[in-house]
Amino acid sequence: MTLRPEEALPAVERLAHLREALAVLAVALAGVHGRLAWFLGAATTALTPVLHWRALPNDHGATFGAVLPTPEQYTDAEEAIRRLHETLTHITTA
């Protein structure tokens, strides 16, 4: 099994990239309507668990309900972003 480049990154960077992708989706959603808005809204909803993840251990202090995701959860979310990117690229070039 081949590792993807993001799997070599520290958890903090992986989580930052996922949250950045979610932010881009939210901004894009604000500027569209119709079927594309429905599609982007569904994608945003599917990725909202990323907002409840934390990358750092709970050494001291509150985590406010944030949880450490498993490596599989990171990989699944990153794969979802890749597929979304491929789908949007296909839509815009078709």
Structural domain that includes position 37:
11-56+64-93
Q: Binning pLDDT at 50, 70 and 90, where does residue 4 land?
A: confident
Decide if 19 is inside a domain: yes
Lowest mean pLDDT, pick from 30-34, 61-65, 81-85: 61-65
Reported as a single tens digit per residue, the pLDDT across 27-42 is 999 999 999 999 999 9
Structural domain total, the chain = 1
CA dist 15 and 11 (Å) reads 6
Decide if 5 is inside a domain: no
C-alpha distances in angstroms, 73 versus 12, 65, 89? 14, 17, 24
Task: Using the Cα atoms of residue 70, residue 71, residue 76 and residue 77 in order, give the sign of their dihedral.
Answer: positive
pTM, two decimals, is 0.87
Decide if 87 is inside a domain: yes
Decide if 2 is inside a domain: no
Decide if 52 is inside a domain: yes
Decide if 4 is inside a domain: no
